[in-house]
């Protein structure tokens, strides 16, 4: 029976991949990758020679029927993204939903994802939390910020380096500059940094330096 595998890939250190993930990627008939240029060095490093083709937000709708047809024909297919677990602010949801509709078995391997270490490392409550991903850049941004004012759970956001200061500043505007937060960047990489403090302190700290790397913001609830 065919199966769709969702395979997490390292978010930084290559050692974060599991033995099981390597085995699955070697055994499947096809690997769908968010960006083959990003994935090929990883696959080469672990001597994985399975055929790899692109599957990203710009082509996933048109590819959906073809991928499902290949699964129906008995092929095993793995989906990977540039880093982390597929479908977490990355392509994957549409394919999983369609596979389930067609009674195709779906299996997600446990593995790397950026927000879990950031949350646990923040020192903020992690017994109850909500994942917000990327907040809208323009349309809907104000509405989203307003909706967070009464949120009591710890909140998790992804952000790009060039929007970090803007986002922190708006959080301070809507939630108060004394609200505690933690900014994690370059998780699992050589220059990993976890900076904790109030929003005011974080704005001052990051406002005076060059910011690089993927970023996770952990924000205290009300």
When pLDDT is cut at 50, 70 and 90, the band that residue 165 belongs to is very high
Domain boundary pick from 108, 139, 166: 108
CATH number of the domain enclosing 195: 3.30.950.10
Mean pLDDT of 153-168: 97
pLDDT tens-digit series, residues 26-44 = 999 999 999 999 999 999 9
For residue 187, give its domain range. Answer: 115-219
Whether residue 162 is found in the same domain as residue 185: yes
Which of 11-15, 87-91, 122-126, 144-148 is predicted with the least confidence, judged by mean pLDDT?
Answer: 87-91
Whether residue 104 is found in the same domain as residue 128: no
Per-residue pLDDT, 1: 80
Whether residue 130 is found in the same domain as residue 203: yes
pTM value is: 0.90
Per-residue pLDDT, 91: 87
Per-residue pLDDT, 132: 96
Whether residue 93 is found in the same domain as residue 152: no
Whether residue 99 is found in the same domain as residue 126: no
Rg for the chain, CA atoms, rounded? 19
Whether residue 103 is found in the same domain as residue 119: no
25 close to 31: Cβ distance less than 8 angstroms: yes
Whether residue 125 is found in the same domain as residue 198: yes
Whether residue 147 is found in the same domain as residue 181: yes
pLDDT tens-digit series, residues 43-79 = 999 999 999 999 988 888 888 999 999 999 999 999 9
149 close to 91: Cβ distance less than 8 angstroms: no
Tally of structural domains, the chain: 2
Domain boundary pick from 108, 131, 164: 108
- 191 contacts: CB under 8 Å, gap ≥ 6: 213
Q: Is pLDDT at 89 greater than 90 in this prediction? A: no
Whether residue 82 is found in the same domain as residue 50: yes
Phi-psi region of 172 (alpha: psi -120 to 50; beta: other; left: phi over 0): alpha
């Amino acid at each position: 029976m065919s199966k769709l595998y969702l395979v997490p890939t390292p978010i930084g250190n290559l050692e974060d991949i599991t033995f099981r993930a390597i085995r699955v990627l070697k055994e499947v008939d096809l690997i769908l990758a968010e960006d083959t240029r990003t994935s090929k060095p990883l696959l080469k490093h672990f001597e994985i020679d399975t055929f790899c083709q692109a599957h990203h937000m710009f082509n996933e709708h048109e590819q959906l029927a073809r991928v499902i047809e290949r699964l129906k024909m008995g092929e095993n297919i793995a989906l990977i993204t540039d880093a982390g677990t597929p479908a977490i602010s990355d392509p994957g949801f549409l394919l999983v939903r369609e596979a389930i509709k067609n009674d195709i078995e779906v299996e997600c391997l446990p593995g790397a994802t950026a927000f879990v270490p950031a949350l646990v490392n923040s020192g903020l409550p992690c017994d109850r939390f909500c994942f917000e991903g990327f907040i809208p850049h323009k349309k809907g941004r104000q509405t989203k910020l307003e909706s967070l004012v009464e949120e009591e759970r710890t909140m998790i956001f992804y952000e790009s380096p060039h929007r970090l200061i803007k986002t922190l500043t708006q959080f301070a505007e809507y939630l108060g500059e004394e609200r505690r937060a933690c900014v994690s960047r370059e998780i699992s990489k050589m220059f990993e940094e976890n900076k904790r403090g109030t929003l005011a302190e974080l704005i001052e700290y990051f406002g005076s330096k060059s910011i690089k790397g993927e970023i996770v913001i952990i924000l205290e609830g009300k």
